[in-house]
Amino acid sequence: IRAGKPAALPAHPGALPRHQPVQLATLTDDLADAGAHWHELKLDGYRAQVALGQGGPRILTRGGHDWTDRFADLLPALRDLPCKAALLDGEIVAGGGLQGFGTLQDAIKAGGPFRYVAFDLLDLDGRDLTALPLSKRRKALEKLLRPLPPMGAATLSPIIHGQADEAFAMICGVGGEGVIAKRVDAPYRGGRSRDWLKIKCRRRGEFLIVGWQASDRRGRPFASLAVADRQGDALAYLGKVGTGFDAEAMADLARRMAPLVRKAAPVEVPRREAAGVTWIAPELRIEVDYAETTAQGRLRHAVFLGLRADPPSEPCPPVQAQKDRPITAGIAISSANRVIFDKPRLTKAGLADYYAAAAPLMLPELADRPLSLLRLPEGMAGERFFQKHPGKGFPDALKVQQIADSAGETSPHAYATDAAGIVGGVQMGTVEFHIWGARRDRLDRPDRLVFDLDPDEGLGFAATRRAALDLRDRLEALGLASWAMLSGGKGIHIVVPLRRHAGWDSVRLFSRGVALLAAQSEPKRFTAEISKARRKGRIFIDWLRNERGATAIAPFSVRARPGAPVACPVSWDELARIRKASAFSTEAALDRGWADTAPPDPQGLTARVIEALEDALTRGG
């Protein structure tokens, strides 16, 4: 490693293709002629070309900007593609692609997970394919992607052959974006044309006006309408509708809203979204066309269609006075009785109480590190999303630091220094806390090395436990002491405290070398590659936690899994007696604390340690 001779991941030796202008679809209302077209799912993500070759993979945006660092989670899967060089066209989505752009934005903030859905192949092994008809380019793409696992991080865009009416209805019914119709005999042409057509799903709903945002344009009575919807016995805020009005409609709405003005909002609204809004009693209903509802419960691309004159089928719920909120670690907990976990029953207030009690156990490892928060605002039954960048409205106790990415652009990152900061995260719906490998005063110098042992589905915990003990021994042979933590899921984390001498590149390269050493020595037990296909019957030694910006679950964090298990440190002697990675509940975790687990003092990746790893790799273990 020191000599620049790491065991290399699969490489593409050909010349790296350059970005090409992307082909764009023309919006239309009707499905295309099935005889000349096929239809594909319209994905709501980021258009991206993937260039494979020397110096790759590179992930390029629609405009040709290099965003490889933002989608680094995809790189291991892209390296598996069997070619000398290639240029693929496709879309980067979060999950299966139906969740929408808001979910993708949350995934980008959290560093993944992503999926690359490829739908075209523009260059292969130095041959330009753009002049070929789509049908032939597709065959070449299918052959290239055939070795990849189904539903993996890189996959093919599915084709709808024949009449697409039923498929289109089903896609819209489950919240999809729509379809793209493509001429099967057309070449690939940069720019917009009618060779590709997009047919979008739209949704309609009736919502209550709860206020209006003032306009700074003369003659315009308002800029947008604040709307809400009835959910159970209360109103839920859904954001603003700012388009679709003509002058007559705006004047009529302004006249109707004027006598309904009130001082207080009739619905709970985040402070940053309430600024500049004039509130009204929720008595007017409008019909709205919109693209989707985001993970935060906001209408996206909402368009006003008209005012409903017929009376509502149910009376509007009365505006409730805010009840007293319990105070935990100085933080007021809203919706305190909301059930986060069913069995054992754990409410939001109960979760806040746990974290307040666990804070002295957590802070030695968590304090002053940038955090990723796994938020479940509605509990286990609702949606979940990662958030790295806190917005306005987060409690002041959860502090914020601006951190620059590799392009020099800064963004806010949350960190905590005390129990109030941790509980402040819970107030915002956080269940899991994930920590960086560096502290905020030296973000360029990691102080912990983490290996996450992730077993294949068919392996029992005994195999993972043996693997952890073996990896401990391998690290000791290299001169490094470590400590263990049950992940609270199905794996075990091995943690090596580091002196803050080496930078991220050195730490990442070293951790990959350790994982490759284990995989090289016992290929039937271990793999260092994330590919699900190569993990079959093996344990993946996840070394990717050691990238700048990557995170790992914090000690004593609750996991968003049935039973509310806790990520818990264990001694090496105790590990031999434990039967599962989710062995400890919140109560048990507080009772035991760090128990007999004593993290070793920080160690350096010295020349002797690196030389020992190089020698072991050369010997094959």
Amino acid occupying residue 616: A
Output the pLDDT for position 351.
96
What is the rounded distance in angstroms from the CA atom of residue 576 to the CA atom of residue 570? 10
Task: Let me know: does 218 contact 282? Beta carbons within 8 Å.
Answer: no
What is the rounded distance in angstroms from the CA atom of residue 579 to the CA atom of residue 366? 27
Distance between start and end Cα atoms, the chain? 15
Q: What is the pTM of this model?
A: 0.53
The domain over range 23-191 is classified in CATH as 3.30.470.30: yes
Q: Which of 42, 348, 388, 490 is catalytic?
A: 42
- Residue ranges, comma separated, of all CATH 3.90.920.10 domains in the chain are 327-435, 448-616
* Structure tokens, 490: 């199905």
* Cα separations in angstroms, 347 against 93, 229, 340, 380, 498: 32, 25, 5, 11, 37
Task: Let me know: does 431 contact 375? Beta carbons within 8 Å.
Answer: yes
- What CATH architecture is 203-308? Beta Barrel (2.40)
Q: What is the mean pLDDT of each run of 10 residues along the chain (621 residues)?
A: 42 91 85 82 86 92 88 86 94 61 49 80 96 95 87 82 69 71 93 88 82 86 90 80 88 92 90 90 87 73 78 45 68 89 92 94 95 90 82 82 81 92 93 95 95 90 95 96 95 96 92 93 89 79 90 96 95 93 94 90 94 88 62
* Structure tokens, 440: 């905020």
Torsion over CA of 276, 279, 283 and 285, rounded to 10 degrees?
A: 10
In the chain, the largest separation of any two C-alpha atoms, in whole Å, equals: 84
- Residue ranges, comma separated, of all CATH 3.30.470.30 domains in the chain are 23-191
Q: Would you put residue 279 in left (φ > 0), alpha (ψ -120 to 50) or beta?
A: beta
Task: Let me know: does 555 contact 463? Beta carbons within 8 Å.
Answer: no
What is the rounded distance in angstroms from the CA atom of residue 444 to the CA atom of residue 405? 11
Torsion over CA of 221, 223, 228 and 229, rounded to 10 degrees?
A: 90
Where are any strands of DSSP class E within 125-166? 127-128, 154-156, 159-160
Domain covering 448-616, topology? DNA primase, PRIM domain (3.90.920)
Q: What is the DSSP letter of 256?
A: H
Output the pLDDT for position 480.
96
What is the rounded distance in angstroms from the CA atom of residue 524 to the CA atom of residue 541? 13
Domain covering 327-435, topology? DNA primase, PRIM domain (3.90.920)
Amino acid occupying residue 264: A
Q: Is 42 helix (H, G, I), strand (E, B) or coil?
A: coil
What is the rounded distance in angstroms from the CA atom of residue 593 to the CA atom of residue 574? 14
* Structure tokens, 11: 């490489």
Burial class (CB in 10 A: 0-12, 13-18, 19+), 379: buried
What is the rounded distance in angstroms from the CA atom of residue 283 to the CA atom of residue 235? 12
- Per DSSP, what are the bridge partners of residue 571? none
Residue 30, number of CB atoms within 10 A of its CB: 8
Identify how many contiguous H helices and E strands the chain contains and give both numbers: 13, 36
Residue with tokens 């933590």: 485
What is the rounded distance in angstroms from the CA atom of residue 452 to the CA atom of residue 558? 17
The residue length of the chain stands at 621
* Structure tokens, 533: 């296909």
What is the rounded distance in angstroms from the CA atom of residue 487 to the CA atom of residue 349? 24
C-alpha R_g of the chain? 27
Residues in Cβ contact with 422 at an 8 Å cutoff, skipping those fewer than 6 apart = 329, 355, 356, 358, 359, 362, 366, 416, 433
CA pseudo-torsion sign 68, 72, 78, 80? positive
What is the rounded distance in angstroms from the CA atom of residue 478 to the CA atom of residue 121? 45
What is the rounded distance in angstroms from the CA atom of residue 513 to the CA atom of residue 524? 18
The strand pair at 448-455 and 178-183 is best described as unpaired
What is the rounded distance in angstroms from the CA atom of residue 588 to the CA atom of residue 566? 9
Across 304-330, b (16+ Cβ under 10 Å) vs e yields: bbeeeeeeeeeebeebeeeeeeeebbe
Give residue 148's Cα distance to chain centre. Answer: 22
- Residue ranges, comma separated, of all CATH 2.40.50.140 domains in the chain are 203-308
Residue with tokens 């993500």: 45
Q: Is 259 helix (H, G, I), strand (E, B) or coil?
A: helix
Whether 42 is catalytic is: yes
